Amino acid sequence: MLEVDNKLVEKVKLNRCSDSTLKLAQRHVGIFNKVYKKYFKALNEVGYAYKNFQDDVNLIVFKACISFKENGGSKFSTWLCNHTRYHCLNEINSKNKKNKIKLDLSNNFEENQESGLKELDAYCQEKRIKDDAEYIMNILSGMKDKRISKIFDMRYFSETNKNKLAWSSIARELGISTQTAINLHEKGATMVRNKIECSSNSDTI
């Protein structure tokens, strides 16, 4: 089993192989179900349903493959389990922050110092999110493949979707496979990370 996993992981790394990603997802369905079950209550509270989780499985596998090191001292199944756990915790934390900001902005604040500070904090957080969105989309708009900026816009910044748009829906809209959508997303994510890293380094000089 270990040898088969490693061969499939290598295909994903080298060729971005959709079939290998799918096979790994199918081989380790027990891991996904176990981790989701552990965080089910918290995920359900932030509106992250099992169908959302299923749609993200290929992305979880893909990211686990890209970062996995065969000689790193752990099996791929262990690595994948940790990535799945991190993904669930990240969904819980990000949704909690988003919901808090939305709740603060929609409330009528009492005229006292504490509520005034809450309102100001919520405004600053919302402004930062908007600024980040503009910054990210500005970076992506300079990429040659225009599908990348469309994917980010549909996935994260669409005003008509409260939750992240499903990869399958994005793929269908653009006329590409789900794995291609994920691969393009990763290219964009890498570009954004590199730009932010370069910007941070220049600020410290």
Say how many CA atoms lie within 13 Å of 188 toward its Cβ: 27
What's the average model confidence in pLDDT over 181-197?
Answer: 85
Q: Of 122, 107, 7, 98, which is closest to residue 46 (Cα–Cα)?
A: 98
Comparison of pLDDT for 23 and 117, the residue scoring more: 23
Q: Is the pLDDT of residue 17 over 80?
A: yes
Give dist(CA 36, CA 40) in Å, integer.
6
Sign of CA dihedral 87, 89, 92, 95: negative
Which range (148-152, 157-161, 182-186) has the least confidence? 157-161
CATH dotted code for 123-205 = 1.10.10
Q: Is the pLDDT of residue 195 over 70?
A: yes
What's the average model confidence in pLDDT over 7-23?
Answer: 92
pTM beyond 0.75: the answer is no
Give dist(CA 154, CA 167) in Å, integer.
10
Which range (79-83, 117-121, 192-196, 199-203) has the least confidence? 117-121
How is 124-187 classified by DSSP, letter by letter? HHHHHHHHHHHHHHHHHHTSS-THHHHHHHHHH--TT-SSPPPHHHHHHHHTS-HHHHHHHHHH
What's the average model confidence in pLDDT over 180-202?
Answer: 79
Q: Is the pLDDT of residue 132 over 80?
A: no
Q: Is the pLDDT of residue 18 over 60?
A: yes
Token code pair at residue 87: 């993904």
* Percent residues over pLDDT 90 in the chain: 35
